[in-house]
Structure 1
Amino acid sequence: MAKVKYYYDPKTLSYRKIEKGTRYKIRNTAIFLASSALMGALFYLVADNFINSPKEKRLHREVENMKIQYDILNGKMNQAVAVLEGLQKRDDDIYRVIFEAEPIPNTIRKAGFGGANRYKKLEGFDNSELIKETAQRMDQITKEIYVQSRSFDEIVDMAEDKTKLLAAIPAIQPVANKDLKRMASGFGLRVDPFTKARKMHNGMDFSAQIGTPVYATGDGKVIRADNRASGFGNHIRIDHGYGYTTVYAHLNEYNVRKGQKVKRGEIIGFVGNTGRSRGPHLHYEVWLNDDKLNPVNFYYGELSPEEFSTIIQMSSQPNQSFD
């Protein structure tokens, strides 16, 4: 209930009740509304700046948690970069050196991304720089991993090819040491057993009994097994790939046929005395792209240093060849 107010009237010497008119009511209402609006504004400002709603508190926690997660993610990426750099260094300095391949240039490993701004959709947020930087690092690492993966694929291919090359290159004697009578003649100028003149001897002669096994000196494919080559009699030729071919001449008989694939150490024939020959022996040649090479340089697969030294000494003697 509103208070009743009075005022003293000196004319009547008495107190009279104050009557509140419309104007008074309007003024008081206006003052009340203005005060309420002012208090509401002040409350809003205080609440907006100093008091968070439950939803705002939840969002704030989520943002802080996101920052923590991004920090953790960047830490893991630092570790991934360190591991990746180690792989790249071993790739360039070890693996590619072994297989005689050029290292991958940094311009390829560290190449960026061209075109339009890939991270435009990440702009306009309070933490845009953090998010963009993390996305850029992730993309860069992903690309470097892809490049490294392709490099390892190449290394695997080179390793497989190297394995095939090592298996194909002639690397053993065609006649076992236990079956040899002697090293009859080596590579170089030798006395011809028929003309007695010195001429080039393009292979090595292994003296052994007729029927002694003859072995393929490397993996390959038999491209000839016949007696149609002048002076060679019954002979075999094996294509080892990579430009290498071996010849086995004056055989008594064959143990393979044309077109057959053979492995190093497989018996392909037997020592004989066919063709232009002065006694039972195997004439053995190694070709590289049609150039005749000294076979003695290809016996590293089974000889000890002492045995190899003996072979070198024996094959270097300027004696008479058997063919």
Structure 2
Amino acid sequence: MAKVKYYYDSDTLSYRRIAPKKGKNILTFILFLLASFLFGTLGLIVLLNTSLVNTPKELSQARELKNYELQFQLLNKKMAQIEDVLANIEERDNNIYRLYFEADPIPAEQRNAGFGGVNRYKDLEGFQNSELIINTTQRLEKLQKRMVIQSKSLDEITDLAEVKAELLASIPAIQPVRNKDLKRMASGYGWRSDPFTKVRKFHYGMDFTSPRGTPIYATGDGEVIRADNRATGYGNHIRIDHGFGYKTIYAHLSKYKVKKGQKVKRGDIIGYVGSTGRSQAPHLHYEVWKDKQRINPINFYYGSLSAAEFEALLKAASQENQSLD
């Protein structure tokens, strides 16, 4: 309510009301509006430059930032799950796969090594959530590196498995004459009496007595490198190169079923029992070579004999009797 002003009239000896001027009232109102506008504008500027009031754009950006933080948190949880799975694979890789295939384990320091040298994350610095972004990026890159190392390790294991499978198929592992076709195991590896001179000498193979024409089997995968009678004492004989330093010899055959250069598989019939060359009776003389040294064939029948059959064969082979060649 506007303040009423009075003045003293000496003629009438009384107080008379002063009537306000219209122009002055308008001016006062205008000044009030101007002051209000200026004060409001100044207040708005101050508020906009503080954290008390945000513009719609800033509110939208804040919501997006909050969403990004949530997405990074979810990403870190997923990476934690992947790291657990990868750690399990790495453990099996070192303690089972690489151990089985005789490969050196990959050290944890190599699997978990970071990236040295220059600062790779300089462009990510200086932001409100730089620490979160940098830590997540580092974690992701380490995870990628571990996966690359593990992938290369599995590639190596695959190659080793292929070689191992080839090795297992190539090693002589069965008896060259089946048990049901044997009359007896005539002579084993070791010192024996020569059938012709009766002198005690070292016998470098095993003699299997069987009827003439009994099938003879390749004891491992390989390639026939000889099938002839040009070796002294062996008569008709076959030599197979199995790779990995292994060779086998099958001597005194009656006839061949393979020829030089032919690839054979374990269990293939390669010839038939005979008594050619320096032989006293129909039998197969069988030798196993490893790295150019003749070794005892008794250790290479695990693929065709039971425990009881092997024990009986071992007992017969250990007797110092007379060889047949």
Q: Given the two structures, how large is their TM-score scaled by the length of structure 2?
A: 0.90
Question: CA separation of 1:10/1:200 partners in 2, compared to 1, >3 Å: closer, same or farther?
Answer: same
In structure 2, the partner of 1:210 is 212
* Number of equivalenced pairs: 316
Matches of 2:321 and 2:84, distance apart in 1 = 64
1:200 to 195, 199, 202: 202
Question: CA separation of 1:101/1:17 partners in 2, compared to 1, >3 Å: closer, same or farther?
Answer: closer
Matches of 2:122 and 2:153, distance apart in 1 = 32
User: Are 1:153 and 2:155 matched, yes or no?
Assistant: yes
Q: For residues 298-313 of structure 1, what are the structure 2 equivalents within 5 Å? A: 298-313=300-315
Aligned letter for 2:305?
Answer: L
Matches of 1:128 and 1:6, distance apart in 2 = 68
Q: Which runs of 5+ in 2 are unaligned?
A: none
Q: For residues 41-60 of structure 1, what are the structure 2 equivalents within 5 Å? A: 41-48=42-49, 49-60=51-62
Shift of 1:59: 1.1
Once superposed, what is the RMSD of the aligned Cα atoms? 2.5
Matches of 1:123 and 1:257, distance apart in 2 = 74
User: Is residue 189–residue 318 contact of structure 1 (8 Å, CA) maintained in 2?
Assistant: yes
2:248 to 246, 249, 272: 246
Matches of 1:228 and 1:317, distance apart in 2 = 31
User: Is residue 7–residue 18 contact of structure 1 (8 Å, CA) maintained in 2?
Assistant: no
Shift of 1:35: 5.9
Q: For residues 55-94 of structure 1, what are the structure 2 equivalents within 5 Å? A: 55-94=57-96
User: Is residue 6–residue 18 contact of structure 1 (8 Å, CA) maintained in 2?
Assistant: no
2:264 to 248, 262, 279: 262
Greater shift, 142-151 or 113-122, is seen at 113-122
Aligned letter for 1:249?
Answer: A
1:320 to 308, 311, 322: 322
Shift of 1:36: 3.8
Matches of 2:52 and 2:254, distance apart in 1 = 107
Shift of 1:112: 1.3
Matches of 1:271 and 1:233, distance apart in 2 = 11
Greater shift, 57-66 or 35-44, is seen at 35-44
User: Is residue 8–residue 16 contact of structure 1 (8 Å, CA) maintained in 2?
Assistant: no
Q: Which runs of 5+ in 1 are unaligned?
A: none
Write out per-residue CA displacement over residues 94-136 of structure 1, whole angstroms, 9 at most, x where no aligned residue. Answer: 1111111110012221121133221111111101111111111
Matches of 2:87 and 2:313, distance apart in 1 = 49
Aligned letter for 1:278?
Answer: Q
